[in-house]
Amino acid sequence: MTPNRSRRLLIWLALVPLLLPVGRGLAQSAPIHWPQVLSSSGFTVPVASGIFYSHFGVITSDGPLDIHHLRIDLSNPTVRLEVGLAHDQLMSPDEPVSSMVLRSGAIAGINGDYFDIHESGMPLNILVRDGQLLRSPWRFVALAITKDGTARIARYRWAGTVTLTETGETRPLDGFNSSLPQDGIAAISDVRGYGAPPPDPGKRQTVVELTPAGDTTQVLVKPDSVTPLSAPSVNDSGRYFVKQVWPQQAFYAPIPQDEILLVGRGSGADWLASKFLAGVIVKVNFTTDPDWRDLVAAIGGGPVLVKNGRIVEDPDPPAPRERDARHPVIAAGISRDARTLTIVEVDGRQPNLSIGLTRPELAAYMQWLGAYQAMAFDSGGSATVVARLPGLPAPAVVNSPSDGRERPVANALLIHSTSVPGPAVKLLVNANQPLRLFAGAAETLRTIGIDAYGNPVPPPEPLQVSSSTPAVTVSGGTVTAGAAPGEGVLNVQSGAATGTARIFVVNRIQRLVVSPDAVNLVPGAGWNFSFAGEDATGNQVVLPAAAGTWVVNPPWLGTFSGPGEFVAGEQIGLGTIDARIGGAADQVRVAIGNTARPVVQFDRGDWSFRGDPETVTGSVAQVTTPSHQHRPSAQLAFRLDGSSVRAAYLLTRLGIAGSPAAITLWVYGDGSGVWLRGTYEQSSGPPGAVTFARRVTWQGWRSVTAQLPPGLNYPITWTSFYVAETDPNRAPHGVVYFNSPRAIYPQSAHK
């Protein structure tokens, strides 16, 4: 297969309109173990002093990748890392990362450890918050931040014990705030939640209530707060009085502040019952190897990806069967001096947006970025990045979670900044990247003020923009290319702050990339191709909205209502689409002839509305006008108010038989520009989301199609159609209608 035939284009989400080309990047020297990289582009902007966010789109021979970075300078005195805990309790219904970020006052955050999903919600591994141990370690590796401000990756081992001070008799503890053993002893505090339940019938249990001996109590306080957290601190001396012994009884939360319980079962219950009496002094050692006491924070994850600059295979990885499957992934990389932390998240399970990475591919990428040490965190639908980007009033989710919405998780790594923004001393124009436009294309010029400490701040006064070349005109912040090529400099001024950006106008491109390179549709189905152009140096060029010519061969195979907007004809057959823009061309293979099965239960009108977050309002209804092919339509009215990622859902439950490869439906658009998506549940495994249209730019009926990711566990249940908005500067209101959903089956797989 030639590179021209294997190109696929990323339809990727610019969460703020700052996406600008930065050269071929990965295409010049891709990581090992990767598919062929055809093109890459992206941008980097400051979040706060010492904290940077980057967003990259990569086109590979296997499909698109949507990549998010957070780079954190741990040596910056205004930067602090903290561990967030869902609802400040280990056993809980879990909590979205954005919620933990907002209530903690953090400026950014990511999801952390694997957890007991759909059950206790408890994280599986060590947890240290504000220098206090909240949970004992278990098997897998963890990311730790030391008191001297460096990061490390280590596998902590639990070595806790309880000792009778009078006799010196010692017994190992099975854990601290972990699961309760069937035959042993565990220590728990109030932060675990739920306390100790009663023993199962026929089982032995002893609970020993311990209170600190002497004035050893410490109040756990956030460094920048005067409000105690709910978790008691570990007693530094380790000395406790036995307050009471509770045989064969429950001890439910809350546990008194600074007290701990020893919960023994089986032989552990017998030992506690025979050795412990009220008033006895015992010593409890909360010990790990290496020692947790030199840490301010630790959060579990895994597997190890890079060690001492080399890709490694973790001998004890979480979920080993997922090693070679592509999923959404998230990882942390540490520089050689341990003072720079780079978070990487790659979206997945969304064929038109991002296909995800395997673990070897993720490890290769972390090494390619220069990580000396690297590890993964809980990935899949949990992978979440939250950040307060320039222009946003508050932190918000910046990636595209594969569940179609943010998943509640057990804990999070939170990034704080105490830097106080000052006046702008310079302007960051177009993310400090050249602006390359094809003749007739237009682009909004994005400008950020930067203070003396690197914080993004609003420009102090209205912007004044001038160009050194007549090849472009500037009006209201929009740069429009003329018909003739040229180059020059854009000069931007706001008060005393200034900035510049190079500007290039071309009327020819070197390469055109259309994605996907092949589609299989049913008669009448719609498909939106995405396309991008590159100049001779491999940099992406902004193309006009009505760019190029699109020729269907043979003509009866289908038609184009606009650039990239294809509707299949009613005949079965094979053919090609030839796209040509600015002297460059690309070709797509088209097959019309799959089998489509109507999802007839959709017409029953069993729908409901949900807005997320609560600022979103709207309604759903079954209507007869407008209709398609005389069938009733589902009306979704919405008001996407707010500044974070917002979505309005038409909730349903549609059982879809067999193994479809795609879903197609007719949508009556309102031109509101919202993102159109859908969600589904597998028979087993995580839920997922797909994109029908990146923007609803049309008015009236149009057929749209969403591919389903490979490897699903069939049958699936369709759970929603929804519209979303990610740009904080937009609050679209409108009404869209859905009609005639169909499941598309490859003929060989149709049942």
pLDDT for position 513: 86
Q: For residues 4 and 693, which has the higher predicted lDDT (pLDDT)?
A: 693
Is the CATH code 3.40.50.300 the one for domain 511-593?
Answer: no
352 vs 387 pLDDT, higher one: 387
**Beta partners for 67?**
56, 346
> What pLDDT sits at residue 232?
52
Split at pLDDT 50, 70, 90, the class of 459 is: very high
Cα separations (Å) of 494 from 429, 500, 514?
A: 12, 12, 39
Give the span between the Cα atoms of 459 and 445, in whole angstroms: 13
Please tell me the distance from the alpha carbon of residue 404 to that of residue 128, in angstroms, as a whole number.
31
Position 268 confidence tier, pLDDT thresholds 50, 70, 90: very high
For the chain, the residue count is 751
> 230: burial class by Cβ within 10 Å (0-12, 13-18, 19+)?
middle
- Pairing between strand 295-300 and 142-146? antiparallel
**Integer Cα distance of 155 and 320 in angstroms:** 17
Of the given ranges (3-7, 347-351, 367-371, 410-414), which has the lowest mean pLDDT?
3-7
pLDDT higher at 521 or 351 = 521
Read off the pLDDT band of 645 (50, 70, 90).
confident
Q: What is the pLDDT of residues 294-322, one digit of tens each?
A: 999 999 999 999 999 999 999 999 999 88
Indicate whether 258 pLDDT > 70: yes
What is the phi-psi region of residue 602: left when phi exceeds 0, alpha when psi lies from -120 to 50, beta otherwise?
alpha
Model confidence at 654: pLDDT above 80: yes
The pLDDT value given to residue 749: 39
pLDDT of 19 reads 31
Q: What is the pLDDT of residue 651?
A: 97
Given this model, what pLDDT does residue 536 score? 86
Give residue 316's region: left, alpha or beta (phi > 0; psi -120 to 50): beta
What pLDDT, on a 0 to 100 scale, did the predictor assign at position 546?
79
Q: Would you place residue 25 in the very low, low, confident or very high pLDDT band (cuts 50, 70, 90)? A: low
| DSSP states of 62-77 | TEEEEEEEEEEETTST
Beta strand pairing call for 608-612 and 646-656: antiparallel
What percent of the chain shows pLDDT beyond 90? 77
With cut-offs at 50, 70 and 90, classify the pLDDT of residue 487: very high
pLDDT tens track for 90-101: 999 999 999 999
Can you list the positions of beta strands (E) in 393-547?
396-397, 411-417, 426-429, 435-438, 442-444, 447-450, 456-457, 464-467, 472-475, 478-481, 486-494, 497-506, 511-515, 518-521, 526-528, 530-534, 540-541
- Answer whether 285's CB lies under 8 Å from 210's CB: no
Q: Which residue has the tokens 């020729």?
A: 551
Whole-angstrom Cα distance, residue 431 to residue 22?
9
Closest C-alpha to 13, from 677, 509, 679? 677
Question: Would you state the pLDDT for residue 5?
Answer: 27
- pTM here? 0.87
Q: What is the mean pLDDT of residues 351-357?
A: 89
Mean pLDDT of the region 425-430:
95
Q: What is the mean pLDDT of residues 419-443?
A: 94
- In whole angstroms, what is the distance from residue 330 CA to residue 383 CA? 6
The predicted-structure confidence for 571-609, as pLDDT tens digits, reads as follows: 999 999 999 999 999 999 999 998 899 999 999 999 999
pLDDT of residue 27: 64
pLDDT over 60 at 230, yes or no: no
Residue, of 25 and 486, whose pLDDT is higher: 486
Query: Over the stretch 93-124, which tens digit does the pLDDT of each residue have?
Result: 999 999 999 999 999 999 999 999 888 999 99
Cα–Cα distance between 54 and 684 in angstroms, integer? 34
Segment holding 272, helix H or strand E: helix 267-275
Q: Which of 748, 487, 427, 425 is nearest to 593 (CA)?
A: 748
CATH 2.60.40.10 residue window(s) in the chain: 511-593
Distance CA 110, CA 384 (A): 6
The encoded tokens of residue 263 equal 């919960």
Q: How many CA atoms lie within 13 A of 40 on its CB side?
A: 22
**Structure confidence at residue 751 as a pLDDT band (50, 70, 90):** very low
| Whether 384 contacts 407, CB under 8 Å | yes
Architecture in CATH for domain 597-745: Sandwich (2.60)
Q: Sign of the CA dihedral 12, 13, 17, 22?
A: negative
Alpha-carbon separation of residue 203 from 184, 244, 582 (angstroms): 12, 21, 78
Query: Per-residue pLDDT tens for 524-563?
Result: 899 888 888 999 888 889 999 878 899 999 999 999 988 8
Q: First and final CA of the chain: distance in angstroms?
A: 31
Residue 57 token pair: 């789109």
Q: Is the pLDDT of residue 222 over 70?
A: no
CA–CA dist 495, 426 (Å, integer): 10
Q: Is 292 helix (H, G, I), strand (E, B) or coil?
A: helix
Q: Which of 29-33, 496-500, 654-658 has the lowest mean pLDDT?
A: 29-33
- The per-residue pLDDT of the chain, averaged, comes to 90
Per-residue pLDDT, averaged over 35-51, amounts to 90
What residue spans in the chain does CATH classification 2.60.120.260 cover? 597-745
Q: Is 651 left (phi over 0), alpha (psi -120 to 50) or beta?
A: beta
| Whether pLDDT at 215 is above 60 | no
